[in-house]
């Protein structure tokens, strides 16, 4: 009987001693673990977040449904959003007036040639260039060579195509000119036509220029072989080479945009299925 009474007294003292120890530990700044505290630690471990030992200010638990709502609908980018660079636009702004000038000279021959009524002052530089490249001079004109006029016809088509391209781009652009490497964005159905027109026209310019060079190669440099290396380099290779390098750059840029758009569209179609 005495032993039973002693057990009851000991059990009665345990809560008081526990409460006393808890208060003593809180007074010293120590966190005393409780069943509720263990439950909070277990719950925060499941959410991969640390839990503070302060029971008066339990940490805020984020709502998992909020994160699920944010990520349950993945965003799929537009299949084709072209970004015409300022370098492309700058090249077109420089090259188009020169192509129009060149086409006018070719179409209006012999009036635009030296001695013609329309030669000075607009086409005066062609008096020198006609001696560098006989395709623009009297030798091929008197031989009734039609290659230069055929090239001029392609120049006219390119000019119209580039003009339409620039119109579509600038009609849908906002903001001022930025850095040379920055890009501008055209979105929507119009983007498909813009990138297709830019790619096809740049490809036409590049292949036409390659054909012009190959014509000289396979003719034994009939029209430019009489020049010195310095005259040939500065007055023929450099100016004509620009119509190879820049159109090739445009083909690459537009081609990358077409490939990127097709890959995104294909990947989006697979995800939708």
Q: What is the domain range of residue 141?
A: 79-265
Q: Does residue 123 lie in a domain region?
A: yes
Q: Does residue 31 lie in a domain region?
A: no
Q: Does residue 88 lie in a domain region?
A: yes
For 183, phi then psi, to 5°, come to -130, 160
Q: What is the pLDDT along the chain (273 residues), one digit of tens a residue?
A: 555 555 555 555 555 555 455 555 454 444 445 544 444 444 444 444 444 444 445 554 455 444 444 444 444 444 455 567 889 999 999 999 999 999 999 999 999 999 999 999 999 999 999 999 999 999 999 999 999 999 999 999 999 999 999 988 887 764 444 444 455 555 567 788 889 999 999 999 999 999 999 999 999 999 999 999 999 999 999 999 999 999 999 999 999 988 988 888 787 655 555
Q: Does residue 1 lie in a domain region?
A: no
Q: Does residue 186 lie in a domain region?
A: yes
In which element (H, E) is residue 246 found? helix 238-272
How many domains does the chain contain in total? Answer: 1
Q: Does residue 106 lie in a domain region?
A: yes
Q: Does residue 243 lie in a domain region?
A: yes
Q: Does residue 139 lie in a domain region?
A: yes
């Amino acid at each position: 009987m005495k032993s039973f009474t002693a057990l009851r007294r000991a059990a009665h003292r345990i809560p008081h001693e526990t409460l006393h120890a808890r208060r003593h530990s809180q007074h010293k700044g120590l966190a005393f673990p409780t069943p509720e505290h263990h439950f909070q630690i277990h719950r925060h471990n499941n959410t991969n977040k640390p839990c503070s030992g302060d029971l008066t200010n339990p940490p805020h638990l984020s709502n998992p449904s909020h994160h699920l709502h944010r990520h349950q609908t993945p965003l799929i980018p537009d299949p084709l959003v072209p970004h015409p660079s300022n370098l492309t636009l700058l090249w077109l702004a420089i090259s188009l007036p020169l192509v129009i000038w060149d086409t006018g000279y070719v179409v209006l021959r012999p009036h635009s040639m030296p001695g013609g009524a329309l030669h000075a002052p607009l086409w005066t530089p062609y008096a020198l260039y006609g001696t560098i490249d006989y395709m623009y001079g009297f030798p091929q004109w008197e031989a009734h060579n039609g290659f230069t006029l055929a090239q001029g016809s392609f120049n006219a088509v390119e000019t119209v195509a580039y003009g339409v391209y620039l119109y579509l781009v600038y009609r849908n652009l906002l903001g001022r000119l930025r850095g040379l490497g920055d890009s501008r964005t055209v979105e929507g159905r119009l983007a498909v036509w813009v990138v297709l027109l830019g790619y096809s026209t740049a490809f036409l310019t590049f292949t036409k220029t390659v054909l012009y060079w190959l014509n000289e190669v396979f003719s034994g440099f009939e029209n430019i072989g009489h020049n010195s290396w310095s005259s040939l380099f500065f007055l023929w290779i450099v100016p004509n080479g620009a119509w190879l390098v820049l159109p090739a750059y445009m083909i690459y840029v537009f081609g990358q945009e077409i490939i990127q758009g097709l890959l995104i569209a294909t990947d989006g179609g697979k995800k939708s299925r």
